[in-house]
Amino acid sequence: MRKKVLIIEDERIDVLSIGRVISRDFPGVSAEVLTNGEQALDWLHRYQPGESTISLVLMDLNIPRMHGLTLLTEFKHHEILKDVPIVVLSGNEDPEAIRLAYGAGAVAYVLKRTTVPETSAALSTTLDFWLNVNQVSVPTRVTEA
């Protein structure tokens, strides 16, 4: 099944940077972009698994029309998507904001860097971990000894 990353981000430059990293480093992965909380909540309520499944959610907490923590909580209560890892991308370095994101269910909190190359490197490392390294191998058949 094809992997897909859901990106919830309203800043065009950040969406472009994420898209470049995905197309350059993860050619078999597709991306879908949502730009505000209401749009993401509507998407969440209509979600049905198809040919590609959501493997990872990348989201900013500072998005229009809904606070990201509220949206993160909604994802964690969704029957199908509750176990999908959510990585927060934020420029907010406040320890309380970071604590709240983890408390709401984020698996990682990646700070947006001051330069595009720094942000791209952080994204590439994060995506590699959550799309490739952190995979559970499930046997297709169990045999008794």
Q: Does residue 143 lie in a domain region?
A: no
Q: What is the CATH number of the domain that holds 8?
A: 3.40.50.2300
- What pTM does this model have? 0.86
- Each residue's pLDDT, cut to its tens digit, for the chain (145 residues) gives 688 999 999 999 889 989 999 999 999 999 999 999 999 999 999 988 776 689 999 999 999 999 999 999 999 999 989 999 999 999 899 999 999 999 999 999 998 877 878 888 888 999 999 998 875 444 444 444 4
- On whether residue 88 sits in a domain, the answer given is yes
CB-CB neighbours of 126 under 10 Å:
20
Domain count, the chain: 1
Closest residue by Cα to residue 55 from 125, 112, 132: 132
Q: What is the pLDDT of residue 135?
A: 59
